[in-house]
Amino acid sequence: MLSAFANAFRTPDLRRKLLFVLMIIAIFRLGSQVPAPGVNVANVQSCLNDVGNSGIYSLINLFSGGALLQLTIFALGIMPYITASIILQLLVVVIPRLEALKKEGQAGQTKITQYTRYLTLGLAILQATGIVALARSGNLLQGCSAPLLHDNGTMTFLVMVITMTAGTAVIMWLGELITDRGVGNGMSILIFTQVVATFPVALWNVKTEKGWWVFGVVVAIGLSIIAAVIFIEQAQRRIPVQYARRMVGRKMFGGSSTYIPLKVNQAGVIPVIFASSLLYLPAMAVQFNQTSTAPWVRWINDYFVRGNHPLYMIAYFLLIVFFTYFYVSITFNPQEVADNMKKYGGFIPGIRAGKPTEDYLSYVLSRITFPGAMYLGLVALIPLIALVLINANQNFPFGGTSILIMVGVALDTVKQIESQLQQRNYEGFLR
């Protein structure tokens, strides 16, 4: 492993790419620490030390590396881009124009990427407006009465919204620079950076509050979970595909064997994000109705706001299972795969081409999605169970979403570095 790292830095062009990625990450983390204009930094830090991070915004705060509740210029992080990408993926299925663009190849994908950028900026404006409005009203950090802004005027409000929106645009640009001139997917690496950035503080908080014994147990459990997640993320069902030989002119084509890899976790971390976002809605509705004494407000406060009630956990788990099946159904089309195989003379041994192949792929996909959904649900419940067992805070270091993101991005990036090393006759990372 260490020799593979050494070989990567000995190769001039690969070394330049890795150093470029590290430079972009440093700039990104620096922007996550610079406060936006008008923020009372001393009061913000005092409030965070007194009341901790708000569970309502824990997911967005996770993707911003803790920058959201500190109201920095990169406070929104990569979350608007993630949301915009998910929305565009869903719209491609239901809007014929976008589906046609997707089938046009690189030119169509470029237009969809441009639409994603525009939607990202629109979402950034909405999210920045909401966050700044909550900070100005004193509702961003519950239990903190100190003013978070120096001035509650309209000009300060507009400047902060524009600054945070511009920060989101800069983050998109930095991510695209990594994709074009670095190694790996730029947006994924930036998400990985922000998630990992919260780990040292979270681990030290566990040690400070619970002592070395609980700290050691948490680290051991965390490493075990990471190993299990790596095992599941790498697991796949390979469906063999045989291509018949055919004569085109004077040349013979086909006759090769390949396979269709169906991952156990076909949906990735998207169902967890969907479920978390949906469960935030009632909590946010309560936050805007804090003075109300309506029964539904009290009910949501009792069962959904703290996030450690069994009813909340059951709802969270069921939503993850539902969104896993939903997302897999719109991203993998057995009919399209079966038609493409039939078009190019491919078939699954023992299965007739056409409708039987489609039915077989649907059968395998439905069976393999079930353990994937169970796995996502159980991993996502880890921080919620930790809240009950060791009375941890909402930023429990080995949370389900953070582990899924870290492992997924790390494996993808290592594989890309490994492929470039193998092109130069070096041993890769994964032997």
Range with the poorest average pLDDT among 34-48, 55-69, 184-198, 229-243: 55-69
- Whether residues 205 and 192 share a domain: the answer is no
264, pLDDT greater than 90: no
pLDDT given at position 403: 81
Question: What is the 3-class SS of the chain, one letter each residue?
Answer: CHHHHHHHHHCHHHHHHHHHHHHHHHHHHHHCCCECCCECHHHHHHHHHHHCCCHHHHHHHHHCCCCCCCCECCCCCCHHHHHHHHHHHHHHHHCHHHHHHHHCCHHHHHHHHHHHHHHHHHHHHHHHHHHHHHHHHCCCCCCCCCCCECCCCHHHHHHHHHHHHHHHHHHHHHHHHHHHHCCCCHHHHHHHHHHHHCHHHHHHHHHHHHHHHHHHHHHHHHHHHHHHHHHHHHCEEEEEEEECCEEECCEEECCCEEEEEEECCCCCCHHHHHHHHHHHHHHHHHHCCCCCCCHHHHHHHHHHHCCCCHHHHHHHHHHHHHHHHHHHHHHCCHHHHHHHHHHCCEECCCCCCCHHHHHHHHHHHHHHHHHHHHHHHHHHCHHHHHHHHCCCCCCCCCCHHHHHHHHHHHHHHHHHHHHHHHHCCCCCCCC
pLDDT band at 284 (very low <50, low <70, confident <90, very high): low
Mean pLDDT for 404-424 is 79
pLDDT given at position 143: 64
Q: How many domains does the chain have?
A: 2
Mean pLDDT for 205-211 is 77
pLDDT given at position 10: 77
- Whether residues 84 and 224 share a domain: the answer is no
17 inside domain: yes
CATH number at residue 67: 1.10.3370.10
pLDDT given at position 391: 58
Mean pLDDT for 113-119 is 90
- Whether residues 129 and 146 share a domain: the answer is yes
Question: Residue 311: is it exposed, middle or buried by C-beta count within 10 angstroms (0-12/13-18/19+)?
Answer: exposed
110 inside domain: yes
The range of the structural domain enclosing residue 96 comes to 1-196
- Whether residues 191 and 209 share a domain: the answer is no
pLDDT band at 169 (very low <50, low <70, confident <90, very high): very high
pLDDT tens figures, 19-31: 898 999 999 888 8
224, pLDDT greater than 60: yes
- Whether residues 94 and 112 share a domain: the answer is yes
22 inside domain: yes
156 inside domain: yes
- Whether residues 288 and 366 share a domain: the answer is yes
Q: Using the 3D structure, point to which of 170, 196, 222 is the last residue of a domain.
A: 196
Mean pLDDT for 167-178 is 91
pLDDT band at 226 (very low <50, low <70, confident <90, very high): confident
pLDDT given at position 52: 52
Task: Give the residue, 38 or 49, on which the prediction is more confident.
Answer: 38
- Whether residues 114 and 242 share a domain: the answer is no
404 inside domain: no
- Whether residues 279 and 159 share a domain: the answer is no
191 inside domain: yes
Return mean pLDDT, the chain. Answer: 79
Instruction: Specify the pTM.
Output: 0.77
- Whether residues 229 and 294 share a domain: the answer is yes
- Whether residues 297 and 358 share a domain: the answer is yes
413 inside domain: no
Q: Using the 3D structure, point to which of 196, 211, 246 is the last residue of a domain.
A: 196
409 inside domain: no
- Whether residues 203 and 192 share a domain: the answer is no
- Amino acid letter, residue 127: Q
- Whether residues 133 and 181 share a domain: the answer is yes
182, pLDDT greater than 80: yes
